[in-house]
Each structure stands twice: as C-alpha cells, then as structure tokens.
Structure 1
Amino acid sequence: MAPALASFDIDALRWDQTTFVGRLKHFFNITDPRTVLVSEQELDGAKALVQGCRAGVVPPGTSQEQLLYAKKLYDSAFHPDSGEKMNLIGRMSFQVPGGMAITGFMLQFYRTVPAVVFWQWVNQSFNALVNYTNRNAACPISLTQIGVAYVTATSTALATAVGLNLYTKRAPPLVARWVPFAAVAAANCVNIPMMRQQELISGIAVTDENNNELGLSRRAAAKGITQVVISRIAMAAPGMIILPIIMEQLEKFPFMKRIRVLHAPLQVMLVGGFLLFMVPAACALFPQRCSMALSSLEPELRAHVVAAHGDKVPYVYFNKGL
C-alpha cells in the first residue's frame, strides 16, 4: 500500500452528516443516476477495492480519487447492512430514470380510469421493489408478507386514484391533475410500513455510538419508517404538484396544442429535472444513521441497557433505511 493511503479510512463520511447540506452532498454522490450505467464487473471491482482498503490491502498505484470513486459505486449499488448487491431497479440511483418515466406518464394519462389504473399499478410495483430493496436487511420478510404489502399498497393507490378521478370530473382541470400525487402519497403511507412490517413486529437493531449492538427496538423501527414515508412523499411532491401547474399554463399556447404527441415526453423530461434534485434532497431530510433517546425506547429494552451500561448510553443509533 502507498504510504499516503496507509491510514486512509474509506468508510469515513466525506461530508458532515449532522447537517442537511452535508447529507445532501452525500446523497447527490450516491444517488447519481450515471452509476446505473456502470457494468456489473466494475461494481464488483469497486466492492473488492473497498473491502481490500478496509483490510489494509490496496493495489500499488491506486490513488485516493480511485478509492473514493470505488466507495461511491459501492454505496450506490450494495446494501449498507448486508453488503449484498441490490437489484438495479430498486437502487436509489435508479430513482431518477425510473421515477421520471413512471411519474411523467402518470401525470400525462390521468383522465381515464383504465389509464389511471395501469399507471398506478406500474408505480406501486416499482415502489414495492424499491421499498423491499432499501429495507433494513437485518429484518427478513417472508414472501407472504411481501405479497400482502404489494396488494395492499396497490389497492390503496388504485382506490384513491380512481375515487378522486371520478370525484373531480366536475372540478377545475388543475385539481384533476393533482389526483396522481394524492394516490402516490396515500400509497406510500401503506406501502412502506407494510413492506417493512417485520421491523415493526420484531424491532430493528439499535447500537451505542461505537456500533455495539444493544438489542431490538420496535419504537426505533417506527421512527425510521415514519421518516422514510415523509422523505418519499417529499421526493414526489414538487414534481407532482408544481409540474401540473406548469403544464396547465403551457397547454394554453397554440404551439402546444399542435404537438400533443410530445406532451408525455416533455412531462417525463421535466419530472426528471425535479427528481434529479429531489431524490438526494428527500433522502437528506433525515440522517441515515438515525438516533433516539434512551428514554424513548421500550421500557424493557431501556432497563436492559441501563442494567448493562448504567448512564453511559444516553442515545441509541440505527439504520433507518431509505
């Protein structure tokens, strides 16, 4: 190993995660949509380089920039708990290309019930895969639980979308354009907790500040999942609330009436612009390593920690997932 890299800590976060700006820079880095184009071979090479650096073995001639890029690829494609490679569609780095296509078409094809049903189904299928991929991997979930979560969230989205679509037939056009967002928000409130229900049932691992495991907490799971729900709704909100206003005004122009066939591609591109910023911004709303006061834990877990550590552990920490 080069002397300059002998003490290099590849897991040290480059930006302060206690501030929103620091977290924003971090998530801009690991949700970079360009990383979805990286080959499987290069991703595996990045993992090997990261693991080698952790073990104190780095190939001669490797620069710090190469190590940082390898860590970026590793964080974008491998689960933080298990270290397993995540499926491409479920990665947060795929949120921009995947989300812009689905959201753009949801916003475009909102007028008829069949179109609403189809695109809400596509969106919830996509969301279910993302939620499963980014769960706390320490809590396994059965195929039955996955199926129930998927059906429940999809049914919620469809019921909300179709119901509001019929209810807003006589409402101003702009109100009807906001129906997809209402359906997405409602479904997120169901999809994420259902897909991660095992965490709420069994609890998730909480640690002290030195990552020593203290036990399992259901309250910590509830806090983490609530923050993820808020983040996902915030991720979709600007594009699905502001873009309909923009399109409502644009479509009044004669040239827009002549190019109706281009309305859907235009909305897809505009949604992509929103998501390019909102994916990292929404992920950065709350720290990835979430904290919780010891006094907020379940009484039995709190008693166990106090018995083992006294007053040396005022806060516990856990991975809230994405």
Structure 2
Amino acid sequence: MSIDINKPRYDQDTYIGRAYHFFRLTNPLNVFATEKELNEAKVIVEAVKYSHKVPKGYTEDQVWRMKYLYDSAFHPDTGEKMILIGRMAAQAPMNTIITGGMVTFYKTTAATVFWQWINQTFNAIVNFTNRSGDAPLSKSAILTSYLCACGGALTTALYLNSKVKNMKNPVYARLVPFAAVCGANFINIPMMRNNELRFGTPVTTKEGEKLGNSTRAAFVGIGLVCISRILMATPGMILTPLIMNWATNAGWFCKRPNAMVPFQIALVGLCVTFATPLCCAIFPQMMYISPSSLEPHIQEAAKKRKAEYVYFNKGL
C-alpha cells in the first residue's frame, strides 16, 4: 500500500485541517513516549519517507501515529530530538502548572517574581526548541535573550501590580500576569530566534529544494508566532480570572475555600489543552509567500526554478 508522509495527513490549507493536525501533534500523551517508541517511530518514518510504502506488519493508521509521534519529538529542520519540556506536546501540562501558578499567586511581589521567572524560563526553552532553521545559537545570545525576557516580564508585572493594587475591582489585578506575558513574548521570541533575523530562515520550493535564507521571511514567521502565542495564553489568563472573579462574588467558595485553587487550575488546564492546538492552527507552520516579497537573491533563485511561491517553516 502506498503512502505519502512527507506532507501532513490533513489539509493544511484549511483551518480545520490544521486543527486536526495540531491536536495530534500537541497531544500531551506524546510526552510519555519511551525512547524505544521514539526510535522505532524515527526508523519507520525515515524508511517510509523514501519508499512511500506501508511497511510489512504495519497499517496505514499505525504509520501515521508513528509520523505524529516522530514530529512531536524531532525538530523538522535539524532532525534532532527536542528537549522534552520544549516540545509542543508538553505545552498543555506545563502551561497548566505555570499559568495556574501565575493566576493564583499574584498578590505578593515574591510570588509575582517567582512565577514570571518560571514562565520565562519555560518560554525560553520552548522558543529555542521550536526555532526555525538549523543555525546554532550561541550561549551568549541565549543568555541575553533569557535575561531580557525575564526583565521585560518582571518590569511589566511589578509596574502594573503597583498601579492596580488600590483599585476596587480585583479583576484588574488578576489580569496583570497576562499583560506581563504579552510584553515578554514580544521580547523573548524575537531574541531567542535572533539568528533568523540576522542571517535568515531557510526558504525552499514546494518540492523542498532550498533557495537560500531570507531575513524577511524570518520577520514574517516570528511575528506570526508572537501573535499565536499571545492568543494561546488568552483563554487561560483572561477567561479563567474572569470566571474566578464571578464565582468568588457569587459565593461559590464560601463553604469550601480550599476548592478555589484546584478549581482554578482545572479551568486553566481545560483552556490550555484546547487553546494550544487551536491557536497553533491559526497560521500554517509551512508558510508560503510570493518571492517578490523577499530578497533579490531569493527572487532570482525562484525565477530560475519557475516557482510562483516559496515556502519556509515559521516555527511554533
């Protein structure tokens, strides 16, 4: 039986197709895959990529499960196994804990500093792990990006906390962590991927033939990632505080105050589990763009190959 796993199983030109794709790619159960399972998936996927045939003893569905397991653990450009907590499959469980901590423990300066630091440390790992391209990032660049993101998040959070602490409506204080996360994302993501902004991200034809590197494509890709990451954080960090504020005022936790934290974290977990794949799906991971929007050397290379559009991995 023939099979083509070089392209996603679901139509990436439609939002529904991308949503199905990312629900499978970000499935939290993928983080529990053993080394043996990951290595088996790698062997099968690499064999099927070239043979375009379902191996003996496997079904088509099994091959696709292997493909999504492989894609969840190995970088699409480098082929390297990604850090476990940096994989998109770890987003839901990790963000449930971190977002839950930020929206629960936001009243004291110490708690604000701690949870924003934890969040930016995690974000730095995710942004580095899911960067586009295969250019190495120096230790000094990683450290600079990390410190700037932490500084930006903490400055935003502490400044806003000082402004809202005397406001009568407590919902404003509950929304401070979201504002800090938004500000930090616009620092952390571009800086952690600054090699792409400096040297460009790989651009290819539809068939995968590399045409060169483009900094303009990198700007587009990183900008879209910033937007999707903020939208990803929105349900858990805005909807949850609003619901908790309403539930508290309605007296839900008067008799069971100890239920407040578990309820809030469960609500965050529900939001994050669905928001992660749905927001990853807003923009295609493999973006296509007219060569006329990119640098002259890309235009020239595309013209030689008669490519109407060129493609690049925007990252996640």
Q: Deviation digits for residues 191-220 of structure 1, max 9, x if unmatched?
A: 000000000000111112221111111000
Give runs of aligned pairs for residues 1-322 of structure 1, distance below 5 A.
Answer: 5=1, 7-56=2-51, 59-171=55-167, 172-303=169-300, 305-306=302-303, 308-309=304-305, 312-322=306-316
Is residue 133–residue 202 contact of structure 2 (8 Å, CA) maintained in 1?
A: no
> What CA RMSD, in Å, does the superposition of the two structures yield over aligned residues?
1.5
Q: Percent identity?
A: 48
Secondary structure of 1:257's counterpart equals coil
Please report the TM-score for the alignment, with normalisation by the length of structure 2.
0.95
Q: Deviation digits for residues 150-205 of structure 1, max 9, x if unmatched?
A: 00000000000010001111222011110000000100000000000000000111
Secondary structure of 1:318's counterpart equals strand
Q: Distance in 1 between matches of 2:54 and 2:277?
A: 30
- Runs of 5+ unmatched residues, structure 1: none
Secondary structure of 1:211's counterpart equals coil
- Runs of 5+ unmatched residues, structure 2: none
Letter in 1 for 2:149: A
Q: Distance in 2 between matches of 1:140 and 1:61?
A: 39
Secondary structure of 1:256's counterpart equals coil
Is residue 91–residue 134 contact of structure 1 (8 Å, CA) maintained in 2?
A: yes
Secondary structure of 1:251's counterpart equals helix
Q: Deviation digits for residues 22-77 of structure 1, max 9, x if unmatched?
A: 10010001101111112121111111111122243765322112111111211111
Please report the TM-score for the alignment, with normalisation by the length of structure 1.
0.93
Q: Distance in 2 between matches of 1:266 and 1:18?
A: 37
Q: CA deviation at 1:294?
A: 1.3
Secondary structure of 1:11's counterpart equals coil
Q: Distance in 2 between matches of 1:191 and 1:265?
A: 30
Q: Distance in 1 between matches of 2:214 and 2:161?
A: 40
